Amino acid sequence: MAGTEMNEVVVDSSSNDKKASKFKVGGSFTLKKEWVISWVDLKASVRNKASKGAAERELLKGLTGTAHPGTLLAIMGPSGSGKTTLLNMLAGKIAGTITKTGEVLYGRQRLRPDIKSQLSYMHQDEMIWAELTVKEQLNLNAHLRMPSDTTDAVKTAYIDDLTSKLGLGKTVNTLIGSIGHGISGGERKRLSFACELLNDPSMLLADEPTSGLDSYMAEGLVRLMKKFAHGEGGSSRTILTTIHQPSSEVFLLFDQLLLMHEGAVAYHGPTAEASAFFAAAGAAVPTGFNPADHYLRQLAMGYLDQVEL
C-alpha cells in the first residue's frame, strides 16, 4: 500500500520549462503548484435508521493513501464499496448526516479557500445547459471560474485552445441540446471536462466520467484525462476518478489503481502491478480476461477477505 508522502512541488510558470502553465491572468503568468493529495485513516459512517438502537453503518473503514501529480488514479470497487464517498471526502464535500474522521492533506495543508480554487470536481451528471451552444457554455463557466481580472482576450484564447485539445472545435456553435438530441454523449463528457479545466486546476476529481459512453468514447475521454494529468497544456495535475467496469484498454490507461471493497482498501498502487498482487493471493488473472472485470469479480465474491492486505 502506498505511503502518505506530503510534499508539494512549486512550478514557476514564468519559465520556458515544458511544465510551464499556459494559463494567463490579466496578461501575466500565474504561479502554479503541483499538489500531492494524502489521506490518513479516513472513516465515515451514517446512522442506520432502520436498525433498532440506531446503529451506524460504516461507509469507509480507515483508508490511507496518496495521489501524486502527473498521475491518473482510478478508484474502483463493487457497488456500495465507498468509491464516491471517498471522492467526496477528498473534495471536502461530505456534510449532513455522515460522521467522518481522519485527515486529508493537499501538500502539507488542509483544505483552504486558496487550495480549493485549485481543485475541480467533475460530477457524474453533466452540469451543462441544453439551451446553450458549446461556446456559450464555456464562456459562462469561464466567467464564473476564472479570476475576475482575466481579460476577455485571455478567456477566448484559453477556450479556443481547450476546445482544440479536447476535440470540440467543430461543435463550438452547436446547441448542446438534451441527451440524444444535441451533441453526442462523448462530446457532452468532453465539454464537462473542459468546464472543469477552465480555472486551470492542479487537482481534478471525477465521479464516473465514462458512465453512459461506449468503450470507444470512454477510451478517448480517459486518454484525454491522462494527457492533462501528465502535463498537457501546463503543469502536471493530480487526477482521481471513480470508474465502473472499464474495458481492458481503458483500464490499462490508468497509472495508479485504488481497489475498494466494503469501505476498505483491497489494493493501492501501480495499475501494472495489480496482477502480481492478485496472483500472489491465489487469484491470478486468467489468460484473455479483462483484468478490471477479474479484480471486481474477486472482490465481489469476497475472495480476498481472508488475505492480509
pLDDT in tens, 73-108: 999 999 889 999 999 999 998 877 889 999 999 988
Q: Is 276 helix (H, G, I), strand (E, B) or coil?
A: helix
Torsion angles phi and psi, residue 162, rounded to 5: -65, -45
How far from 267 is each of 9, 209, 274, CA to CA, in Å? 26, 22, 7
Give yes or no: residues 112 and 15 share one domain: yes
Give yes or no: residues 232 and 88 share one domain: yes
Give yes or no: residues 114 and 228 share one domain: yes
Give yes or no: residues 98 and 217 share one domain: yes
Cα(234)–Cα(20) distance, rounded to whole angstroms? 5
Report which DSSP code applies to 299.
Answer: H
Residue type at 112 in one-letter notation: R
Give residue 233's pLDDT band: very low, low, confident or very high (50, 70, 90).
Answer: low
Q: Is the pLDDT of residue 56 over 90?
A: no
More confident residue, 23 or 180: 180
Please list the residues that pair with 203 across neighbouring strands: 119, 238
Tell me if 210 is assigned to some domain: yes
Last residue of a domain, one of 177, 198, 219: 198
pLDDT value of position 179: 79
Global pTM reads: 0.84
Q: Provide the residue range defining the domain that includes 34.
A: 8-118+202-300
- Which grid cell sits at 10? 512549486
pLDDT in tens, 19-53: 334 444 333 334 457 889 999 999 999 987 666 65
Last residue of a domain, one of 147, 181, 198: 198
pLDDT in tens, 143-160: 999 988 999 999 999 999
Domains identified in the chain, total number: 2
Give yes or no: residues 243 and 138 share one domain: no
Provide the mean pLDDT of the chain: 85
Give yes or no: residues 164 and 284 share one domain: no
Report which DSSP code applies to 98.
Answer: E
